[in-house]
């Protein structure tokens, strides 16, 4: 069959062109040796090791005022190790010994690489450069600056509460002074006494109005009896009793009635004189009722005004008490947390440590001659095989067709 794989044919083909295959392979290897030796510059790698330690203590802070402290994960440390600010700090530190091409943060960053080991708490900071001493110096300065920068972000740094505590103390003193000043002008007692007095007067006015209304009704009833039946012992006695009661009522100091009515009759009076006296009495009582109504309305208005003023005073007092209580709670909470932070600052905390500074590399890390030669040999062999395929399956069939 034409499509059957003929191993003998390919073995014969390799045997026929073995010199070409060997020559291309060896030639590629020689080129790799020359390029590695003379064209590619040697690169040296200096590595500094940094470890991230964890705190062995846990401090529970006051729950009223929780403060969010920086929480940087181990993986974030690896990302932060190549930040632009850090690169610029290294350039400034080594500026005098750096060549012109490395005096920028961008150029410096191209030399850096970071790898993590274990649980990412071990960081290897690598610097690759053609000068081994400069590579070592850059790695050590980079590691030192990185440790310093990261430790400045730990919870024990930047959590001072002196200024907030001082402001809280000032606010508490101001709230207490405002409460003292208000109590010196507090009118709660005066307003309460005024309301009590006006309320009692209002009750007296209403009782007096009721008494006068009953007296008017009695006078009107007695007048009707006189007009219908004439003067008699009963009517005259009733009139005398009525006048006596009114005189006694008006003579009382707590009756609420102004003593302005002269209520007396001569011993012997006619019916018309008695009716006339009753008419005058009714008019006087109605006038007294009107005066009491006006006085009662005034008392009600004064009570409402005093109650409104008392409510305003009590509201202001409640506000000042609440402000003092809030300021006191805030000050106490800040004072407790300030003390807790002081204690926490004295405890060992998680930090970054430079555990292994970079040392002077004794041999270059690149180029790797064995690797380059092996790659070149594979490329030479592949080129030779490709050439055989072209010659055997492209050029020869074309030549054969041309002869025919």
Q: Within this chain, do residues 36 and 48 fall inside the same structural domain, yes or no?
A: no
* Range picked from 92-101, 215-224, 347-356 for highest mean pLDDT: 92-101
What pLDDT sits at residue 2? 46
What pLDDT sits at residue 369? 67
Confidence band, pLDDT 50/70/90 cuts, at residue 299? very high
* Range picked from 4-18, 232-246, 297-311, 339-353 for highest mean pLDDT: 297-311
Q: Within this chain, do residues 197 and 312 fall inside the same structural domain, yes or no?
A: yes
When mean pLDDT is compared across 185-194, 348-357, 376-385, the lowest value belongs to: 348-357
Q: What are the two backbone dihedrals, phi and then psi, of residue 236, each rounded to the nearest 5 degrees?
A: -65, -40
Q: Within this chain, do residues 317 and 264 fall inside the same structural domain, yes or no?
A: yes
Extract the runs of DSSP E, i.e. beta strands, from 174-311. none
Q: Within this chain, do residues 81 and 32 fall inside the same structural domain, yes or no?
A: no
Q: Within this chain, do residues 372 and 326 fall inside the same structural domain, yes or no?
A: no
CATH of residue 140:
3.30.70.1130
* Range picked from 306-315, 348-357, 368-377 for highest mean pLDDT: 306-315
Let me know if 299 is exposed, middle or buried by CB neighbors in 10 A (0-12, 13-18, 19+).
buried
Q: Is residue 339 part of a domain?
A: no
When mean pLDDT is compared across 93-97, 129-133, 154-158, 322-326, the lowest value belongs to: 154-158
Q: What are the two backbone dihedrals, phi and then psi, of residue 179, each rounded to the nearest 5 degrees?
A: -70, -40
Question: Each residue of 100-112: pLDDT tens digit?
Answer: 888 888 888 888 8
* Range picked from 116-120, 157-161, 358-362, 369-373 for highest mean pLDDT: 358-362
Mean pLDDT over each residue of the chain, to the nearest integer? 77
Q: Is residue 164 part of a domain?
A: no
Taking 60 as the threshold, does the pLDDT of residue 257 lie above it?
A: no
Q: Within this chain, do residues 87 and 15 fall inside the same structural domain, yes or no?
A: no
What pLDDT sits at residue 6? 60
Q: Within this chain, do residues 143 and 192 fall inside the same structural domain, yes or no?
A: no
What pLDDT sits at residue 64? 47
Domain count, the chain: 3
3-state helix, strand, coil in the chain (%, to 5): 65, 5, 25
Q: Is residue 130 part of a domain?
A: yes
What pLDDT sits at residue 398? 58
Which residue did the predictor score with more confidence, 136 or 232? 136
Q: Which domain holds residue 27?
A: 7-40+368-403
62, 329 Cβ separation under 8 angstroms = no
What pLDDT sits at residue 297? 93
Taking 50 as the threshold, does the pLDDT of residue 254 lie above it?
A: no
Question: Each residue of 158-171: pLDDT tens digit?
Answer: 456 788 888 999 99
Let me know if 68 is exposed, middle or buried by CB neighbors in 10 A (0-12, 13-18, 19+).
exposed
Question: Each residue of 9-18: pLDDT tens digit?
Answer: 667 767 777 7
Q: Is residue 341 part of a domain?
A: no
Q: Within this chain, do residues 50 and 36 fall inside the same structural domain, yes or no?
A: no
Would you say how long the chain is, in residues? 404
215, 242 Cβ separation under 8 angstroms = yes
What pLDDT sits at residue 175? 93
Helix/strand/coil (H, E, C) string of 48-78? EEEEECCCCCCCCCCCCCCCCCCCCCHHHHH
Q: Is residue 208 part of a domain?
A: yes
What pLDDT sits at residue 253? 47
Q: Is residue 106 part of a domain?
A: yes
Q: Within this chain, do residues 251 and 203 fall inside the same structural domain, yes or no?
A: yes
* Range picked from 4-8, 20-24, 243-247, 315-319 for highest mean pLDDT: 315-319
What pLDDT sits at residue 344? 61
Tokens of 370: 């064995």
Q: Within this chain, do residues 203 and 149 fall inside the same structural domain, yes or no?
A: no
Averaged pLDDT, 331-344: 80
Q: Within this chain, do residues 301 and 238 fall inside the same structural domain, yes or no?
A: yes
Q: Within this chain, do residues 204 and 305 fall inside the same structural domain, yes or no?
A: yes
* Range picked from 208-217, 244-253, 291-300 for highest mean pLDDT: 291-300
Q: Is residue 171 part of a domain?
A: no
Which residue did the predictor score with more confidence, 219 or 392? 219
């Amino acid at each position: 069959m034409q499509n059957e794989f003929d191993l003998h044919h390919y073995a014969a083909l390799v045997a026929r062109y073995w010199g070409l295959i060997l020559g291309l392979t060896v030639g590629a290897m020689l080129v790799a040796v020359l390029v590695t030796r003379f064209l590619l510059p040697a690169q040296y790698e200096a590595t500094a090791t940094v470890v991230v330690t964890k705190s062995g203590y846990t401090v529970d802070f006051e729950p009223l005022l929780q403060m969010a402290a920086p929480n940087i994960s181990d993986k974030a440390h690896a990302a932060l190790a190549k930040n632009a600010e850090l690169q610029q700090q290294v350039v400034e530190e080594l500026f005098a010994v750096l060549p012109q091409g490395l005096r920028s943060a961008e150029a410096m960053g191209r030399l850096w690489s970071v790898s993590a080991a274990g649980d990412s708490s071990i960081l290897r900071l690598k610097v690759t450069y053609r000068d081994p001493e400069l590579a070592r110096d850059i790695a050590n300065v980079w590691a030192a600056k990185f440790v310093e920068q990261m430790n400045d972000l730990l919870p024990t740094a930047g959590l001072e509460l002196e200024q907030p505590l001082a402001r809280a103390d000032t606010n508490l003193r101001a709230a207490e002074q405002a409460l003292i000043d208000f109590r010196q002008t507090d009118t709660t007692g005066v307003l309460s006494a005024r309301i009590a007095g006006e309320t009692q007067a209002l009750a007296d006015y209403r009782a007096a109005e009721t008494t006068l209304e009953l007296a008017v009704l009695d006078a009107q009833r007695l007048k009707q009896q006189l007009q219908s039946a004439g003067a008699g012992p009963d009517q005259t006695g009733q009139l005398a009793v009525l006048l006596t009661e009114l005189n006694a009522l008006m003579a009382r100091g707590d009756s609420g009635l102004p003593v302005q009515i002269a209520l007396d009759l001569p011993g012997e009076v006619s019916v018309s004189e008695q009716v006339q006296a009753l008419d005058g009495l009714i008019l006087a009582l109605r006038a007294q009722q009107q005066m009491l109504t006006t006085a009662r309305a005034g008392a009600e208005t004064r009570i409402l005004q005093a109650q409104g003023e008392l409510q305003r005073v009590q509201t202001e007092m409640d506000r000042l008490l609440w402000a003092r209580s809030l300021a006191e709670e805030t000050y106490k909470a800040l004072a407790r947390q300030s003390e807790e932070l002081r204690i926490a600052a004295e405890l060992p905390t998680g930090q970054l440590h430079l555990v292994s500074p970079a040392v002077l590399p004794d041999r270059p890390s690149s180029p790797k001659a064995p690797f380059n030669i092996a790659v070149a040999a594979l490329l030479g062999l592949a080129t030779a095989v490709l050439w055989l395929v072209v010659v055997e399956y492209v050029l020869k069939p074309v030549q054969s067709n041309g002869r025919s």
